[in-house]
Amino acid sequence: MIVTPELQQALLASIPALRASAVSLCGQPDQADDLVQQALVKAWDHMETFEPGTNMAAWLYTIMRNEFYTEFRKRRREVQDADGKYSGGMSAGPSQDHHMQVRDVQSALLRLRADQREALLLVGAWGMSYEEAAEVCRCAVGTMKSRVNRARGRLAELLTAPAPAPASQEQRVDAPLGQSG
């Protein structure tokens, strides 16, 4: 099927939403754009499955989600750095100078469980109904509601908890060992 200029425009217009969502899916900002790229190629090759008049970005998200759970994670494990750590920043782009609070939310989000983070993304950021979000994630509506609630609760917990002390001096390694029988 020919990908018309209109469809190409719609693809292009969906990229920012896809990138933001890819960060949420991966939980690792530095790999998000690779996932987006993979999803765009897949979408281009399967354009005939897109129903004209429906939400292109949402369609792309389901493709990207599927890519992530089938291919991307597998490949990522193969190529992942030995230390497996990831950079804390969402991107090294223009949003770097944003004030602390948004950065706090950002890092708290990355600490949520993936399914809860996704629920919050779809309902909170995309503005999907619980029903739509449940369909995308192939789960029951009640499950989606509960994920959103848990995500909110956990986020509130993370954001109000005292910051973890950086390498506390109270940590003693010279405590006597082997006292138990």
Partner 1 sequence: MPTQPSQTPGRGPNSPRRVKTPPGAGLDPELQAKIGRQLQELYRTMLEEPVPERFLRLLAELERKQENKG
Interhelix angle 130-137/56-67, rounded to 10 degrees, is 40
CA dihedral for 24, 93, 13, 2, sign (positive or negative): negative
Tokens at 149, concatenated: 């609630």
C-beta of 13 vs 66, nearer to partner 1: 13
Query: 52 vs 162, which CB is nearer to partner 1?
Result: 162
Contact (Cβ atoms closer than 8 angstroms) between residue 40 and residue 16: no
DSSP state for residue 169 in the 8-state scheme: T
Stretch that binds partner 1, among 2-10, 59-67, 68-76, 77-85 (CB under 8 A): 2-10
Nearer to partner 1, 82 or 167 (CB): 167
Decide: 7 and 45 in contact? Cβ < 8 Å: no
Pick 90 or 134: Cβ nearer partner 1: 90
Cβ of residue 82: shortest distance to partner 1, in angstroms?
Answer: 26
Binder among 92, 102, 114, 140 for partner 1 (CB under 8 A) = 102
The CA distance from 17 to 123, in Å, is 14
**Under the rule (CB under 8 A), what is the footprint of partner 1?**
2-3, 8, 11-12, 15-17, 19-20, 23, 33, 36-37, 40-41, 44, 90-91, 93-95, 98, 101-102, 104-106, 109, 120, 124-125, 146, 148-150, 152-157, 159-162, 170, 179-180
